[in-house]
Structure 1
Amino acid sequence: MTQIDRRHLLGGAAALAGFISFPGLAQSWPAKPVRFLVPFAPGGSSEIVARSTAGELSKTLGQSVFVENKPGASGNIAMAEAARADDQHTVILGHIGTLAVNPYMYDKLPYDPNKDFKPVSLLAKVPSLYVVHPNLPAKNLKEFIALVKAKPGAMNYGSAGTGSAGHLAMEYLKMTANIFITHIPYKGTGPQLTDLLAGRLEAASVGASAILQHIKAGKLRCIATGSSERLAQLPDVPTVAEQGFPGFEMTQWYGMLAPASMAQANVDKLAAETQKAVKSQASVERLNQDAALAVGGTPAQFAQFIALEQKRWKQVVERAKIKPE
C-alpha cells in the first residue's frame, strides 16, 4: 500500500469516527441513561404513566430510562429545570396542569410551555373519578351536591396541588353544578390520599389509576366518573353526564416533552420509540389495569392537542378565578 493510499484510508477512518461520535446525531443517541422528570410527588397517575412508558423505552433505546419525581409549585420547578436542560438526555412528563392551566393561572412562569419544549407524544388519558370518604352520607352525585348546597363552604376537598388535574376537575364540577366546597391543596396525590383515606378530607377528584384499589377495597366511595362512558372497572358507577349534566367530561392527560435544545434528530428517534412503547402490549395492559387509556401519536398531533386544551382551560381558569396559593 502506498503512502498516499494509507493517508486516504486513515483520513476516511477519521472522518467516519467523527461522523459516528458527532453529538446530536440520532445514530449515536442516547449515549447515556435518559432522565424522565415527573413534576409531581410519587403515588399518583403521573408516576404510573411515566414508569410504564420508561420501562418499555428502556428495552428499545439501548439505554435505561429512569423516572425522577421533582414536585413543587404546581409542577413549575421541574418544568423550569427541564426547559434549561441541554444535556440531550432529559425529558419531562407534560400534563394538563403544567401545559394548559399554569400559563393562565400564573402571572409569570419560569418557562414557556410552547417555546421551551418540543412535544414528543401524548402518552395516556386517565379518567377523573369523584370520590368521597365512606363516612360521608352521599351514595351518588345528586346526594353529594345536596349536602354541599345545604352548607356552602363547610365541606372540603383535597387535590394534589393548585392547578393539578384534581383541582381542575372539582372546580369544573363546582362551576357546572353551581356549588361551593373548600379547596385544600397538597404537595402531591400521595399526601392527599393519606388524609382522604383517614377521613380528614371529605371528597376529592383523583385519576382512576391512583385510587381504583381503594374504591374496590371499600376505603373510598366513587360517586361519579368524569369519563364520557362508564368504566369497565366500575360498571355500576354512573358518569357525571348521566347524573344530570349532559356533555360533562373530565380526563387527565399526560405526554412526553423534550427541551427545545434537544436536537431534532434525537426528538424524532425518541418520538418513534415512544409511540411504539405506549402501544406495546405490556404497556397497554399495564395502563388498562388502572383504567388509563394508552394514546400515543406523533409530535404534531400532540402539539395540536395541547393547543386545543389551552383554549379550553383558559376559559375555566379565568371563570373560576384560579390563582396560586
Structure 2
Amino acid sequence: MFDNAPAVSEATHPSRRTLLQFAGALGLGGALPAASLAQPAWPSKSIRFVVPFAPGGSSEIVARSTAAELSNTLGQSVFVDNKPGAAGNIAMSEVARSEDQHTIILGHIGTLAVNPYIFDKLPYDANKDFKPVSLLAKVPSLYVVHPDVPAKNLTEFIAYAKKNPGKLSYGSAGNGSAGHLAFEYLKITSGVFMLHVPYRGTGPMLTDLLSGRLEASAIGAAAIIPFIKAGKVRCIATGSAKRLPQLPDVPTVAEQGFPGFEMTQWYGMLAPANMPAAHIAKLSQETMKAAKTSAVIERLRGDAAESVGDKPEEFAKFIAIEQERWKKVIARANIKPD
C-alpha cells in the first residue's frame, strides 16, 4: 500500500531516533513550564484571618480594618475568625498546623514574645511554625493613676512610690498580660517597688482602679483614653515613642528621664510555615499597601493606634528584638502564667 510513497531522506526529515529524543526532551525540560502554568492563582478562595482573642478591643479593630482592605485587593474575601483561649495558645497551635494555604493569624506581643518564656511547654514554636508577613499596628500603653494619688506626672509618681515602698499597688488584666509587662518594665527601669494585683480581664481591674482600690495601672490607649478625658483617672506618661495627638500635654516615659523607653502592644500578620514564599510575598505586598490607606490609618488613629505595614524580614527582626527584651523582663520579674 505504501510501496509508491515518495522516499524521505534524513536530511529533509528527522529520523525516528531524533523524534524520540525530542519527545523525551519535552517530557523532562518541558515539564517545569507546564507545571508552572497549571498552578492556580492564589488566593483561590476566601482567606481566614484568625484572631486568638475574644471579640472587641484593639486586636479585632486591627484585624478587621486590614481584612476589609485586603478583600478589595486580593480578589477574595478575607474574614476574621475569633478563636480565644489559653492566652492565644489554642489558635496559634491550630494555625501552625493548617495546610489549606488560606489561613493566617494575628500575631501579638503576648503570643510571640511573652508566651514562649512564661509557659514551660507551648503547643507551637513561635519562630519555627510561622512566617512573618507584616507588622500591622502598635498600640501604646498609658500609665495612669487614680486621681487621689498625689502625682501629676511620672517623675512625681516615682518619687512618691520610692517614699512608700510596697504600699502602692497596680492592677493588670492578668499575669503575663500586656499591662503586667508594661508596669514591670517601668519598675525595672525606674527602680520602684509596687505590688501587682492580677485580675481576670481589663474590665474588673478597671472597676477597682476607678473606685480607688488600686493606685495605678498600665492600659492600652484605646481602652483608657475615655476615662482620662472624663477625669476619672490621670495619665502620668505614655509608653509611645512620641506624644499622642489625643493627649498632647502628656509626656512620654522617655521624655521624663528614661531615654529609649517604649512600651507598646503590637499586632502583626503571620502565616503557617508551610505557606509558599510566593504567597507570602503577595500577601505582604498587599498588606503593606492596606496599612498605608487612609481608611486604615484613620480607623486605627481613632483608637490611638499607629498603623505600620512593613516587609516580612523587617517584622522578623522586630519579633526577635521584642523576644530578647521581654525574655529578660519576664525572668527578672519572675512572671508566671495564671
TM-score scaled by length of structure 2: 0.81
- Residue 74 of structure 1 corresponds to 87
User: 1:158 touches 1:184 (CA, 8 Å); kept in 2?
Assistant: yes
- Residue 29 of structure 1 corresponds to 43
- Residue 170 of structure 2 corresponds to 157
User: 2:42 touches 2:279 (CA, 8 Å); kept in 1?
Assistant: no
How far apart are 1:126 and its partner, in Å? 1.8
Quick one: structure 1 residues 51 and 194, their matched pair in 2 at CA, closer, same or farther if it must change by over 3 Å? farther
Among 310, 313, 319, the residue aligned to 1:300? 313
Among 287, 291, 294, the residue aligned to 2:304? 291
Quick one: structure 1 residues 229 and 121, their matched pair in 2 at CA, closer, same or farther if it must change by over 3 Å? same
Among 226, 229, 243, the residue aligned to 1:216? 229
Q: Deviations over 1:21-76 (max 9, x none)?
A: 85xx4x141412x2222222334322222222122222222333222333333222
- Residue 115 of structure 1 corresponds to 128
Within 5 Å, which residues of 2 pair with 1:52-67? 52-67=65-80
How far apart are 1:78 and its partner, in Å? 1.9
Q: Aligned letter for 1:248?
A: F
**1:171 aligned onto 2:184:** yes
Quick one: structure 1 residues 50 and 211, their matched pair in 2 at CA, closer, same or farther if it must change by over 3 Å? farther
Larger radius of gyration: 2
Quick one: structure 1 residues 311 and 263, their matched pair in 2 at CA, closer, same or farther if it must change by over 3 Å? same
CA distance in 1, matches of 2:248, 2:221: 13
Between the aligned residues of both structures, percent identity stands at 71
The residue matched to 1:144 in structure 2 has which SS?
helix
- Tell which deviates more after alignment, 55-64 or 171-180: 55-64
Q: Aligned letter for 1:277?
A: A
**1:312 aligned onto 2:325:** yes
User: 1:41 touches 1:189 (CA, 8 Å); kept in 2?
Assistant: no
Among 128, 135, 139, the residue aligned to 2:152? 139
Among 82, 90, 102, the residue aligned to 1:89? 102
TM-score scaled by length of structure 1: 0.83
Structure 2 runs not aligned, ≥5 long: 1-34
Within 5 Å, which residues of 2 pair with 1:12-23? none
CA distance in 1, matches of 2:169, 2:181: 15
Quick one: structure 1 residues 157 and 46, their matched pair in 2 at CA, closer, same or farther if it must change by over 3 Å? farther
Which 4+ stretches in 1 moved above 6 angstroms? 18-21
Structure 1 runs not aligned, ≥5 long: 1-17
Q: Aligned letter for 1:46?
A: S
CA distance in 2, matches of 1:269, 1:206: 35
Q: Aligned letter for 1:295?
A: V
Among 240, 256, 261, the residue aligned to 2:253? 240
